Amino acid sequence: MPKETKLSPRMSAGIRKFMEIATFSTLPEVDRSSPLVRRNMTIYRENVRRTEGFYIGENLGRLPIIAGIGHMDPDDEDAISGAKAAVEAHNARTGQNVELKRIVRVNAQAVAGEVLYITLEASDDCFYESKVYITNADEPTDPDVVEVDFCRPAVHYQA
C-alpha cells in the first residue's frame, strides 16, 4: 500500500492558488462527446506538443483537462520571479547583461510545485523562452526554490 503524502501548508496553498488561476475546467462541466470539445482537445494537444508548452492556443473554450498546461497571469508573483530568474540564468550562461523588459505569456502546469513556460522580452528587444520549475517551500517561512531548466531565444513566439 502506498505511503500517504502530506503536503506542507505552503504547498497546499500554492496548489489552491494555481487551481484558481488556471484556465481549465473540471471534468463534470464539459461534454467530452461534443464534436467541438473533441476538436479543441485535438488542437490543444497538438499545440502543446508542437510548441513544447509555450503556446497552447486561445479561445479553445472549456476543456476537460486535469494537470494539463493552462494560462497564467503574467503579473502573478511566481511568473515574475520565474522570469527574473530566467534572465539571470541567461546572463550567467551568455555573459550578457540584459534585463527583463516584459513578460509576454506564461503557461503553467501543476506538479510538485509549478512548471512555468515563460515567453519574455528582454532589454535587447529580443524574445526568449524559458522553462522554470518552482518548488513550493516545505515551511511557510522558507523561500520557494526556483530552478531554470533553460532560457533560449524564442522558438515558438507568436505575436
Position 113 scores a pLDDT of: 86
Rg (CA), the chain: 17
Cβ neighbours, 10 Å, residue 138: 13
Spacing of C-alpha 98 from chain mean position: 22
Residues 6 or more apart from 75 whose CB is under 8 A from it? 103
Position 140 scores a pLDDT of: 63
Report the SS3 class of residue 139: coil
Q: Can you name the residues that pair with 118 across neighbouring β-strands?
A: 106, 130
Spell out the domain ranges in the chain.
Answer: 7-159
Residues 6 or more apart from 2 whose CB is under 8 A from it? none
Position 157 scores a pLDDT of: 86
The beta-strand segments (E) located in 22-72 are 69-72
Asked if 122 and 98 touch (Cβ cutoff 8 Å), the reply is yes
Position 20 scores a pLDDT of: 62
Position 63 scores a pLDDT of: 72
Threshold 0.95, pTM exceeds: no
Position 88 scores a pLDDT of: 97
Cell 486561445 belongs to 58
Class assignment of domain 7-159? alpha beta
Taking the chain (159 residues) in runs of 10, the rounded mean pLDDT of each run is: 55 64 55 83 89 85 75 93 96 96 94 92 96 80 83 88
- Alpha-helical runs (H) found in 52-145: 77-94
